[in-house]
Each structure stands twice: as C-alpha cells, then as structure tokens.
Chains A and B, each alone.
Chain A
Amino acid sequence: GAVVSQHPSWVICKSGTSVKIECRSLDFQATTMFWYRQFPKQSLMLMATSNEGSKATYEQGVEKDKFLINHASLTLSTLTVTSAHPEDSSFYICSASLRGNYGYTFGSGTRLTVV
C-alpha cells in the first residue's frame, strides 16, 4: 500500500516554456502532498505543501508564481514550472501523506532539464 506515482519521470523543455508534473496517490487519499527539489549530490529541500482544496503553502525563497501547485483532488497534485529557465533544471520529487497515518511515501521523481 501507500504508492505514489509521479509523471513524467523525465522531461526536457525549452527555456521560456512551462512544464507540468503530476503526483498521484494510487491506493490512498492524500490530504496533503509535498513537493521537494533536489540538486545533484545534494539533499531534498521542501518547496511547498499542497493541501487538497486550498492554496499551497510555499517555503521561504520559493517563488509561488513560478512554481504553481494545484491539489484539486485527494489523489492528485500538480506542479507547474512556468517560464522555465536553465537554473530550474533539477530533480523534483513529491510525497504524499494521510493525516494520522504518519506515512511519508515519495514518488519516483521527475528529472527536469531546461535547454
């Protein structure tokens, strides 16, 4: 149980375009999802907390207008990187949790390369 699916696993886009990444909880309803960013040989850094039916909460230093998060259902959260630039190239990972479950399951990640 507690499977989180992330799609796509990798994407290459041109500078200035937008990219959408999906995070789905397959066998449970995730009231909260989290988006992390990981640079090569570094740890995971929390970008934002996505709550179903409400606005996302962004960590300090994360541009909410660049990283749009939508959590329209209990099983799906999306992260859209708008007007992507090469410095946005990174590994983006989502996690999902159900309150009271204390489970923190991660997706398999999305490698974004902006050229």
Chain B
Amino acid sequence: GQQLNQSPQSMFIQEGEDVSMNCTSSSIFNTWLWYKQDPGEGPVLLIALYKAGELTSNGRLTAQFGITRKDSFLNISASIPSDVGIYFCAGQTTDSWGKLQFGAGTQVVVTP
C-alpha cells in the first residue's frame, strides 16, 4: 500500500506567490521524483533526485532529497497560471527498482 504522505492536499495561491509541498515516507528511498499531472494526461517528470541531500532546480522549481532519505520537498517560485495542476511525489526503494510509490498529490490552484 501507499507509504508516502504528501502535504498539503491542496493550495490556493495568488499569481506570483511561492508554493511549497513535501512528502514523507516510512521507508528509505533511493530515488525521489516529482511529477505534474494535468487533467486527462499522464504525469510529466519535473525533477528527479538520486542522492540524499541533493538539491536540484528546474527553472522556477526546486526540489531536495532529504538527508534521512525519507522525505523530499518541492518549491515553486513566483507562480504563474500555468502552474495549475496536481503535483505528485514518487519514490523508489532500493529493493524495488522501477516500481514507484506515489503520494496522494497536491492540487495547486493559481488565481490571477
């Protein structure tokens, strides 16, 4: 079953504000991934993290792989309307290559 706790469940923010979400796990992960999913589409990979402590940016997105290997966060700076969507964290344990566990998702709504 799902072992990831993702929060918050939803966020309503104004354009230009920063967004922060995080995931915690009961298991140690060797890979953390952050995806964005638009309605009726498959998830699109935003950032992949492979080492504890790793901090990676992709444009206005920044994500970190927690030191304990049981958590990760994603920040979106200066949000714009197209940031609307559902953001999922996903992780992979060392003994389950390729099999991802997904968080419940964070719904982001950006108002002008």
Instruction: Please report A residues at the B interface, Cβ cutoff 8 Å.
Output: 4, 6, 32, 34, 42-46, 49, 91, 93, 95, 97, 99, 102-109, 111
Contacts and interface: CB of A to CB of B under 8 A. Distances in A.
B102 A102 contact: no
Interface in B40-62: 40-45, 48, 50
Given A46-B100, A49-B98, A97-B98, 5 more contacts: A46-B99, A102-B31, A103-B45, A104-B100, A107-B42
Interface string B65-85: 000000000000000000000
A43 B103 contact: yes
Contacts of B90: 104
A95 to B, nearest CB: 8
Interface residues of B, number: 23
Contacts of A108: 41-42
12 contacts: A6-B42, A32-B98, A34-B98, A44-B100, A45-B2, A45-B102, A46-B100, A102-B48, A104-B100, A107-B42, A108-B42, A109-B42
B41 to A, nearest CB: 6
Given A104-B45, A106-B44, A108-B41, A43 B98 contact: no
A93 B40 contact: no
Contact of A43 (B2, B45, B99): B2
A104 B33 contact: yes
A66 to B, nearest CB: 20
A104 to B, nearest CB: 6
Contacts of A49: 98-99
Contacts of B41: 108-109
Contacts of A42: 104
A105 B45 contact: yes
A106 B97 contact: no
Which 6 A-B residue pairings sit nearest by Cβ, starting from the closest? A106-B42, A43-B102, A109-B42, A44-B102, A108-B42, A93-B42
A6 B43 CA distance: 13
B45 A99 contact: no
Nearest to A107: B42
